[in-house]
Amino acid sequence: MDSDRGGRASGSVVILGALLCLVGLGLLMVLSATSITSFDKTSGSSFSIFARQAFFAVIGIIMLTATALIPAQIWSRLAGPMTGS
């Protein structure tokens, strides 16, 4: 059993858990802040603004996962052109 690999895996799980909790809390705040406004401005749906925010949160998590799977060597090569140096 490789303890180094286990340490990184558990750290990743903690970061993923924190990410999901923060996104969930943010979505809850959007829902609580906009449910009445959304109900008044749309055809009776309190969840229309929340649904749009949830859609973009899911897109963001998908993009985060895709970029996290890119090896560090590629990011190192792209760092110069991406920063303009």
Q: Provide CB contacts within 8 A for 48, sequence distance 6+.
A: 38, 42
What pTM value is reported for the model? 0.70
- Condensed to tens digits (0 to 9), the pLDDT of residues 35-78 reads 888 888 766 788 888 999 999 999 999 999 899 888 989 988 88
Q: Which residue has the tokens 């140096």?
A: 85
Please spell the DSSP secondary structure of 44-83, one letter per residue.
S-TTHHHHHHHHHHHHHHHHHHHHHTS-HHHHHHHHHHHH
Residue 39 identity (one-letter amino acid): F
- Condensed to tens digits (0 to 9), the pLDDT of residues 13-33 reads 888 899 999 999 999 999 999
